[in-house]
């Protein structure tokens, strides 16, 4: 499986939640973005011939394209983006075993180019953490 999506930039994690009547709830902007992203991802999965969300380890590559110099953290929009692809590209975001994120400046509009593909055992599972241990993967 290999699916590539072009999505509008997700809201950063600082804009993802609001306090309403003393409770923390997901903001309407985050809910709208995730719903739109999920629909685009489901359509791309259908076009790629995938029967449904992957129930196996996947590798995700994200390229954030900005028209001008960006503000904020590189990891700010990731939470909303990965949650938005839940139940569309993979059945649970625990299936993401490798994540690569880059930020570029491009003319045109701001966008997130997302590629979701099957994790390659030889490439992704031979990595070790800082202590020399192999990471645990969702099964």
**Residues 52-91: pLDDT tens digits?**
999 999 999 999 998 887 666 888 899 999 999 999 999 9
Q: pLDDT averaged over the chain? A: 87
Residue 51 falls within a domain, yes or no?
yes
Query: Element (H or E) spanning 71, and its range?
Result: none
Residue 11 falls within a domain, yes or no?
yes
Residue 137 falls within a domain, yes or no?
no
* 84 CA to centre of own chain: 7
Dihedral sign, Cα of residue 120, residue 135, residue 93, residue 26:
negative
Residue 62 forms beta bridges with which residues?
A: 101, 114
Question: pLDDT tens for residues 27-55?
Answer: 999 999 999 999 999 999 999 999 999 99
Residue 113 falls within a domain, yes or no?
yes
Query: The domain containing residue 47 runs over which residues?
Result: 2-124
User: Which has the minimum average pLDDT: 12-21, 27-36, 110-119, 126-135?
Assistant: 126-135
Q: What is the reported pTM?
A: 0.80
pLDDT reported for residue 14: 87
Residue 117 forms beta bridges with which residues?
A: 2, 59
Query: Could you give the number of structural domains in the chain?
Result: 1
């Amino acid at each position: 499986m290999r699916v590539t999506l072009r999505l509008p930039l997700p809201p950063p994690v600082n804009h993802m939640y609001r306090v309403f009547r003393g409770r923390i709830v997901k903001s309407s902007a985050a809910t709208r973005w995730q719903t739109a992203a999920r629909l685009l991802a489901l359509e791309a999965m259908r076009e790629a011939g995938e029967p449904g969300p992957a129930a196996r380890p996947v590798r995700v590559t994200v390229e954030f394209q900005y028209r001008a110099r960006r503000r904020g953290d590189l990891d700010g929009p990731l939470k909303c983006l990965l949650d938005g692809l839940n139940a569309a590209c993979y059945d649970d975001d625990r299936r993401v075993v490798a994540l690569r994120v880059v930020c570029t400046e491009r003319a045109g509009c701001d966008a997130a180019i997302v590629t979701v593909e099957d994790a390659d055992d030889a490439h992704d599972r031979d990595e070790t953490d800082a202590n020399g241990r192999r990471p645990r993967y969702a099964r």
